[in-house]
Amino acid sequence: MTADIHRTIEAIWRIESAKLIAILARMTRDVGLAEELAQEAVTVALEKWPATGVPDNPGAWLTQTAKNRAIDIMRRGKLVDRKHEELEQVMTERERTTPDFAAAVDDDIGDDLLRLVFTACHPVLSTESRVALTLRLLGGLTVPEIARAFLVSEPTIQQRIVRAKKTLADAGVPFEMPLPAERAERLASVLEVLYLIFNEGYSATAGDDWMRPELCNDALRLGRILVGLVANEPEAFGLLALMEIQASRAGARVSPQGDPILLLEQDRLRWDRTAIGRGLAALTRVEELGGANGPYALQAAIAACHARARTAGETDWHQIAAIYGTLVQVVPSPVVELNRAVAVGLAFGPAAGLAIVDALVDEPALAKYHLLPSVRGDLLAKLGRDGEAIRELERAAALTRNERERKLLLERASALRA
């Protein structure tokens, strides 16, 4: 029975933690303290609920418990009058007198969550810290879960989170909405974090697994929350569309043995049509908001081309190449140009694609990027230049840190040699 209660509390934490921390951060103006108070409330629940049972509204129970603890700390610590005044502003008459506490705290929960999103993804933090803090505060993941997801040690993740909280405190980052002049940059930082989390789940950079679906799911859940909070931001919908459509392929990307299955070889009957529908709906919303040429929207449009093709042979590579041409102008990047080379090679022939790739060979940003020799090897093989292709594929295998991908590249090289 106790074990069942503990599993229930874990599930409730995953669902309620972001809202709980957001409410407490509004009260205390301290994200680190807010998380500590939330954790204390969970500890109290672990002690009491096995005896009393799970309350009818567990989220409200945790919030009230944590809020009471915050008030005790602020009183006992005799904090400065400003803190008391801030607390009184938050403690509206409705919160003090309404029996339905859940309804009271929900009044500003959307704004609170958005403040927490912008705080966790603040540009003052390093990329690694933003990712770890977002998964901790908004995703409800434990330190061991984050460490397993990114194949790093628990002390490293814990240090990143602690350092992130300290950086926010030292920099005096306020728990508030960014000013209009800062909003675009701050939103871009949020979207970048979600994109990084999703991509690490979709194509793991290291380790023994080709995918880590739990990270994709966390990014998707946070992306769905985000579009509900910034309903008029086209790039938020663009990123959600991209993630939904990409995630629709998850069941077809890995064999029963865990080996990767490349896009053109996947069984499209195994693609999740419901997820594709959600992605296309989000892409329609992007167009309604006039953001079709945003970086995430363009990538989502490319994913949509694949999703609409019933077979690999029906893929409109000319359209995909054209979209990549627009994307590389919007976001000049050697990685985008490499992806364009793949599309051009499939639309206009491998020689055309190879010409683009060859122009990238001396690009410093791609010096250790395994997909450059991988793509070049594939194009060389299609041109019948097997010896060169084998060398490129073997070089790609030496550069990748993902064991499944290394095996696939070496198998392709071996097949050419045979």
User: For the residues 168-181, what does the mean pLDDT come to?
Assistant: 88
Strand 206-207 and strand 401-402: pairing?
A: parallel
Helix (H, G, I), strand (E, B) or coil at 155: helix
User: For the residues 68-93, what does the mean pLDDT come to?
Assistant: 62
Confidence of residue 86 (pLDDT cuts 50, 70, 90): low
Confidence of residue 195 (pLDDT cuts 50, 70, 90): very high
pLDDT recorded at residue 94: 39
pLDDT recorded at residue 107: 44
pLDDT recorded at residue 233: 96
Give the least confident one: 36-40, 94-98, 129-133: 94-98
Give the least confident one: 96-105, 152-161, 237-246, 304-313: 96-105
**Residue 384 backbone phi and psi in degrees, to 5:** 80, 10
Q: pLDDT (tens digit, 9 = 90+) per residue, 10-68?
A: 888 888 888 899 999 988 888 889 999 999 999 999 999 998 999 999 989 999 999 99
Residue 96 has pLDDT above 60, yes or no: no
**Cα 46 to Cα 119: distance, rounded to the nearest angstrom:** 29
**Cα 110 to Cα 328: distance, rounded to the nearest angstrom:** 35
Tokens encoding 319: 């359209």
**Cα 260 to Cα 255: distance, rounded to the nearest angstrom:** 6
pLDDT recorded at residue 150: 81
User: For the residues 384-411, what does the mean pLDDT come to?
Assistant: 96
Helix, strand, coil % over all residues of the chain, rounded to 5: 75, 0, 25
Q: pLDDT (tens digit, 9 = 90+) per residue, 284-341?
A: 999 999 999 999 999 999 999 999 999 999 999 999 999 999 999 999 999 999 999 9
* CA-based nearest residue to 376, from 402, 407, 341: 341
Whole-model pTM? Answer: 0.82
Could you give the C-alpha distances from 125 to 34, 131, 160, 210, in angstroms and in order?
18, 10, 10, 29
Instruction: Quickly count: other Cβ atoms within 10 Å of residue 150's Cβ.
Output: 23
